[in-house]
Amino acid sequence: MSDIIIKTPEQIALMRESGRLLAKVFAYLDPLVIPGITTMEINDLVERYIVDDLASRPASKGQYDYPYVLNSSVNEVVCHGFPDPKRVLKSGDIVNIDITLEKNGYIADSSKMYMLGEVSPLAKRLVDKTYEAMWQGIKMVKPGIRLGDIGNAIANFAHSNGYSVVREYCGHGIGEQMHEEPQVLHYGKRNTGVQLKEGMTFTIEPMINQGAAKIKTKPDGWTVVTRDKKLSAQWEHTIAVTADGYEVLTLRAEENTISTK
């Protein structure tokens, strides 16, 4: 617990502003992610918008020597998909766009699934249920509960819908650094793990597979795919623990779910 940075109200206000700006990035992107665009074009559009329009920094670029401003994970790609000028999105694809933004020294991290054109009912169900799984975890957040309660809620929901949960990647504390303590697993036992306190900030970002949970990393050293080549989906928000619940710092305008509890 000593490694976890408890944020002051002033620090959370700065993170809230970063989250607000990041939500604007997705609003800007929404009409642009259509069949025919390449994942590299998405990357370049987002970089220009963050830097030129929002006077902010794309925090992923250069982190761990990563060369781009976002991850674009299409279909069977679980996470960390490289933008590619040859990867043309087509009708029926599902793609996760994962973006970080730093403003005034504080970082927000969020990702969203896009469904392009005519998506199969099975693909749409996976995307929708993964979104619900994320919210099952978010709605657990309040002072006094433990991280295992969050993971347990997410995994139980995913498993009850016939899906598997990727275990190799997790949510994380966030603030001045993109990755801080604690690690936020998307599976776990109730009443185990770190106890939440007001002022903690972290991401919840479950990766849910249509088939088995097994994954592998491609030769580029970054792109993670399902071993069985079935679809994977992910959603992500940055969360602050409040006095009596939570605040979603990266909530997007189209989301009707209440942002605080």
229 burial via Cβ count (<10 Å: 0-12, 13-18, 19+): exposed
Distance CA 122, CA 231 (A): 9
- Report whether 3 belongs to an annotated binding site: no
- Report whether 237 belongs to an annotated binding site: no
Classify strands 77-79 and 224-226 as parallel, antiparallel or unpaired. antiparallel
Contact 166, 213 (CB under 8 A): yes
Contact 239, 138 (CB under 8 A): yes
Classify strands 246-248 and 224-226 as parallel, antiparallel or unpaired. unpaired
Contact 235, 204 (CB under 8 A): no
Distance CA 196, CA 2 (A): 13
Distance CA 231, CA 163 (A): 10
- Report whether 186 belongs to an annotated binding site: no
In 116-236, where do the E strands start and end?
164-165, 171-173, 180-184, 201-204, 207-209, 215-217, 224-226, 232-234
- Report whether 118 belongs to an annotated binding site: no
Q: Distance from CA of residue 169 to its chain's centroid?
A: 11
- Report whether 159 belongs to an annotated binding site: no
Please give the annotated binding residues, written as ranges: 80, 98, 109, 172, 179, 205, 236
Please give the annotated binding residues for a divalent metal cation, written as ranges: 98, 109, 172, 205, 236
Please give the annotated binding residues for substrate, written as ranges: 80, 179
